[in-house]
A and B are shown apart, each in its own frame.
Chain A
Amino acid sequence: MAEAHTNPVEERQIDRSQMQVSDEVAIEIAGMNKWYGTFHVLRDIDLTVNRGERIVICGPSGSGKSTLIRCINALEEHQKGSITVDGTLLSNDLKNIDRIRSEVGMVFQHFNLFPHLTILENCTLAPIWVRKTPKREAEETAMYFLEKVKIPEQANKYPGQLSGGQQQRVAIARSLCMRPRIMLFDEPTSALDPEMIKEVLDTMIQLAEDGMTMLVVTHEMGFARQVANRVIFMDQGQIVEQNEPEEFFMNPKSDRTKLFLSQILGH
């Protein structure tokens, strides 16, 4: 499990003017269950995410956090209950799945950039082939987002030539090029050296400031405190507790949460 880094985010003043939670529902998960063979990974998950929410999911390793957010864009299929993303019900219909995937951006722990393509090609691939955007336009969009994550000068390099932090920022830009309405992050900083964590968290904060709906699995509690409007604690495939960050950290209700927090915050 990744260590908790509480320091890097603290230094920055956050602009909250665009961070508004609307009434519109972005993701609706109801009574969702998932098994790996006979192993019950996710049990009775109910979760409603409104547009504009920034949700941090934490919990011990193996508690099903990754599985949960991977179910949302159908990288894993669930066996019971329903998931509705942007009004589209996730079913076995491949058309629906591809539509949801193109609306939902995902950032992985290990970046999953395509090593045989340049940074620019990584960013333009999906817009060109999925959205049928003309190449010129896709490249302009890609450059815009590469500017935003502050690495436009690397556009013609290959992923293997970049540092981990740079690769993760490219991965974020690649997702953004599809103009997603929701972004999922699965431990985006836990494969990074400490000095690179900050640059990635900065990029994510910027995204939150722009009003993106975000679900973030992370152990960066500083990020959770400052950016999240809700923190969810998972254990053994269940949502044990969820609350506003202030309350969650000051007044955890369940013992498991208390134990987890004491371990991760180191006192």
Chain B
Amino acid sequence: MSEVHAQTVAYVRDTMIPQEAPPPTEAGAIKWLRENLFSSWLNAILTVVSLYVIYWVVSHVAGWMLFGIWDAGSLSECREVRDATYGEGASVACWAVLTDRWDQLMFGFYPSELYWRPVLALVLFLVAIAPVLYDSLPRKMLWFTAASPFVLFFLLWGGTIWGPLAVAAGFAIGWAVLRFATPVIGDLGGIVAAFVVPILYWFFAVGPIAGALGNAIPIGIEFVPSDDFGGFMLAFVIGIAGIILSLPLGILLALGRQSDLFIINKFSVIFIEVIRGVPLIVWLFTASLLLNYFLPPGTNFDLMLRVIIMVTLFSAAYLAEVVRGGLAALPRGQYEGADSLGLDYWQSMRLIILPQALKISIPGIVSTFIGLFKDTTLVVFIGLLDPIGLSNAIRATTDWNGIYWELFIFIGLCFFVCCYAMSQYSQWLERKLRTDHR
């Protein structure tokens, strides 16, 4: 088969053996089965038991779900249809509750002729968030993203256009204070003033200013009070607002906790520890009951806004710790590299430190977001009609009294889809941002 160079080397093969396919036990489906399902007696037994359990669940649940009844106006009507089609007492789902109460599950008691507003708001939100999620989209879209909170607020609640505009002006005021007062009163004073001045403005000046402008130049659309919000729309508004507002706040708190400036450092630490140390439900009760005592008398501060603020503060405290973990994971050399090039604090944070720290923190950040989104269901305890609250209300009607599974399965599924999408996006982002491939 092979020739040997007898003179020089003892044995050298000089023809190659042709390649062969691996033996059947080492390739394809059989190999996979052997390795993963039947690699030992114990595994084989577990495999068989698992298969039986899966069969049992699927055979009971799949039929119940697939043969479900979609067209009925009440539970009793549903049962009549069932008895007529499948015979007395067959076990099938009654999905008709979803079709019958679809609008309510989605929009709560939002006026039905105005459904286009939340729908348009959702579309605009997707447009606004797209350039943030995918940086291949044109950067100019970020201008719309910056304006979108005010546009969305205006669309959802309506009323005079001067309200959102006056609130937006607060950010401009904060920026102006930071920009022009810092040279005069120093860095620390500038930062503190840039927070305090807008907050005072929002508390005391926005109402009168917006009111006056609204009287002078009345531009606006029909006002919808928060009491009419409900269903998934409510969950989405609270969840999305909380997510978007809490990230920047959490980052600032994390930076504050790392800061050498005594006041900022202590404020951040106390804020984080206090907010995080108390259950969210307590904060929500605080928002619904106690906050009125602290506000100037006569102000009627919208309950939903209060809840959004509480949810935001709560998840910002968690995010701050997640981001702090990312900051701490960066080698000191990164800070020094940035410093040695003459970048100032905000430049080095924005360009060098935060991009890397946030990248490290992505899994934790997304976990916090997912937690926040699911926690929006807690607002049912302070009387807001989130999907859970609405399902209670639906089950309290004579039409649908006695139905459980269908509603809860649907609500659970919707939450799962949203949370799973966030998780998938974050994994995609992590892969995309990986630059250490060799």
Contact = CB atoms under 8 A, between A and B. Distances in A.
Contact of B342 (A108, A114, A130): A130
A101 B438 contact: no
A113 B337 contact: yes
Contacts of A160: 435-438
A110 interface: yes
Nearest to A125: B351
A98 B339 CA distance: 8
- The residue in A99, A110, A126, A130 that gathers the most chain B C-beta atoms within 10 A of its C-beta is A126
A133 interface: no
A116 B337 contact: no
A161 B437 contact: yes
Interface centre among B347, B433, B435 (most CB of A within 10 A): B435
B344 A112 contact: no
A114 B347 contact: no
A108 to B, nearest CB: 6
Contact of B341 (A99, A115, A116, A125): A125
B352 A114 contact: yes
Given A73-B340, A98-B342, A161 B334 contact: no
B187 interface: yes
B359 interface: yes
Nearest to A177: B341
B336 A75 contact: yes
Interface string B336-366: 1111111110010001100110010000000
Contact residue range for chain B? 20 to 34
Interface in B325-339: 331, 333-334, 336-339
Interface string B406-438: 000000000000000000000000000101111
Given A125-B351, A158-B436, A160-B438, A108 B337 contact: yes
A174 interface: yes
Contacts of A129: 343, 347, 351
A116 B135 CA distance: 15
B433 A178 contact: no
B347 A116 contact: no
A259 interface: no
B182 to A, nearest CB: 11
B343 A116 contact: no
Contacts of B341: 101-102, 125-126, 130, 174-175, 178
A94 interface: yes
Interface string B316-331: 0000000000000001
Nearest to B187: A94
Interface string A76-119: 00000000000000000010001101101110101111111000
A94 B344 contact: yes
Contact of A126 (B343, B435, B436): B343
B191 to A, nearest CB: 14
Contact of A116 (B336, B433, B437): B433
B435 A112 contact: no
A176 B237 CA distance: 50
A101 B336 CA distance: 11
Interface string B201-214: 00000000000000
A160 B437 CA distance: 7
A129 to B, nearest CB: 5
Given A94-B344, A125-B341, A112 B336 contact: yes
A250 to B, nearest CB: 35
Contact of B339 (A101, A116, A174): A101
Interface of B: 187, 331, 333-334, 336-344, 347, 351-352, 355-356, 359, 433, 435-438
10 contacts: A73-B339, A94-B187, A101-B340, A112-B336, A114-B334, A115-B436, A125-B341, A130-B341, A160-B437, A178-B342
Q: Which 5 A-B pairs have the closest CB atoms?
A: A102-B342, A112-B337, A126-B341, A160-B436, A112-B333
Given A158-B435, A161-B438, 6 more contacts: A98-B344, A101-B341, A102-B342, A116-B355, A126-B341, A130-B341
